[in-house]
Amino acid sequence: MGLALRYPPNWTCVAQTQMPQYAGLYLYPPGAGPNIPGPLISFDFTPQQPYSNQPTPASNVSSPQPIVVAGITGRQYQDTQYAIPAQRFYIQLPWHGGTLVIAATEGPYVNLVPQLQAILATIMSQP
């Protein structure tokens, strides 16, 4: 995916690189994991989906706001309606000709946005 980042040492990291049209990295806090629906921070890259500066507004998300991650300008938004299994906070960035979507669980019981913000501060682009 071309990213280097730091995450809490007691979290589980699972990479998805088996499909050429898609790459993903999933970070699970203690007590959560890939076999149990629950909180996570995800990084999903789709090279075939070019980033659009004109997002299609959805009725169930907030108005996109600008954000800069590792020197790359994108947008952030969040669910505005209760979503199953959890509400999410999203970031979309242009990345290597495609789109990188970063999402974190954000809900009344678990809010991983502060942890995501700490992780975002460590992200560096790798060739």
Tokens for 118?
């700490």
- For domain 3-125, the question of CATH label 3.40.1000 is answered with yes
Domain ranges, ordered by start, for the chain = 3-125
The number of helix segments (H) and strand segments (E) in the chain equals 1, 9
- Residues above pLDDT 70, as percent of the chain: 90
Give the CA dihedral 8, 10, 112, 20, nearest 10 degrees: 80
What does the pLDDT look like over 19-66, one tens digit per residue? 667 788 999 999 888 887 789 999 999 888 889 887 766 777 888 889
Report the predicted TM-score, pTM, of the whole model to 2 decimal places.
0.88
Is residue 41 classed as helix, strand or coil in its secondary structure? strand
Residues 7/15, Cβ–Cβ less than 8 Å: no
